Amino acid sequence: MRFSKMHGAGNDFVVLDLRSGSAAPSAALCARMADRHIGVGCDQILTIESASHPNVIANYRIWNADGSVSGQCGNGARCVAAWLVRDGAAPAQGSFIIESPAGRHTVEHDGHGGFVIDMGPARFAPAEIPLNGFEASSLYTLHLGAEIVQFGAVSMGNPHAVIEVDDVASADVLRIGPLLQASAAFPQSANIGFAQVLSPTRIRLRVFERGVGETLACGSGACAAVAVLARRGRVQHDAQVAVQLPGGCLQICSDTQADTMRMAGPASFVFEGEWL
């Protein structure tokens, strides 16, 4: 099984081409490939599959490092786009469309070797996230034992909670992240973001991803953080917001007129290999 190792701002992937009709990897195989000691090592497995519509270049699916499935992956979308351009399946200029389990995404070249992805609308209704036990609000409060956590919640094709903190460097990511993920409020778990606002157009972010743990970057998490913070007036709507993650910087825009989130950032090839 041939694969490509890629990353987007440090969020790393094993990319498999299944367009010939090869079977999707099992959850157990995904977990073995993702293992950083005895496998290839990655945050997610991405499978590139035949398009379901003539206007779509290819479909892709996402498996987390523990073998569980994911509905969306923003950094993965850029890596899929770069892989398809290198393969010749997608144009080296202009725009094209790829499809994830969350829907179709228009891809544009950013002129600097990266890509701009239309990530679709941010969904705040609790039933769409899903978030149990709350009426819709821009800020939720949850008691986790002796811990009181305030967060915003949104779906970007996968569920996200966003906690604003004074300093991401000292945020208790490895303790609060798993606690909130395991809460009954999130029946499908969630990606937990810890965001520090530096200005109306710049934030810092760390993300504890479901099925993975803390990652160097999370594209859908960056979109979620900007969406939640823009809703509360903490960052600007309709402006590029620089999201600084441990692995690099993404540019996110909450486009109110088009009701979508746009994400720009890099996509890099690391090496090619064969799984025996």
Q: For residue 219, say whether it is annotated as part of any ligand binding site.
A: yes
Instruction: Find where tokens 């819709």 sit.
Output: 136
The answer to whether 133 is annotated as binding is no
- Active-site annotation holds for 73: yes
CA-based Rg of the chain, rounded to a whole angstrom?
18
Inter-CA distances, 213 with 192, 207, 224, Å: 10, 8, 17
Catalytic annotation on 249?
no
- Both structure tokens of 56: 């779509």
Which member of 42, 79, 218, 223 is catalytic?
218
Q: Are 96 and 64 in contact (CB under 8 A)?
A: no
The answer to whether 55 is annotated as binding is: no
- If DSSP codes are grouped into helix, strand and coil, which group holds residue 222? helix
Is 59 annotated among the ligand-binding residues? Answer: no
214 is in an annotated binding site: no
Q: Is the dihedral of CA 269, 217, 103, 93 positive or negative?
A: negative
Q: Which one of the listed residues 73, 79, 223, 253 is annotated catalytic?
A: 73
User: Known binder of ligand: residue 209?
Assistant: yes
**CA pair distance 24, 63, nearest whole angstrom:** 10
49 is in an annotated binding site: no
User: CB neighbours of 189 closer than 8 A, spacing ≥ 6?
Assistant: 159, 181, 182, 210, 211
Give the residue ranges of the annotated binding site: 11, 44, 64, 74-75, 158, 191, 209-210, 219-220
Give the residue ranges of the annotated binding site for substrate: 11, 44, 64, 74-75, 158, 191, 209-210, 219-220
Q: Which residues are catalytic?
A: 73, 218
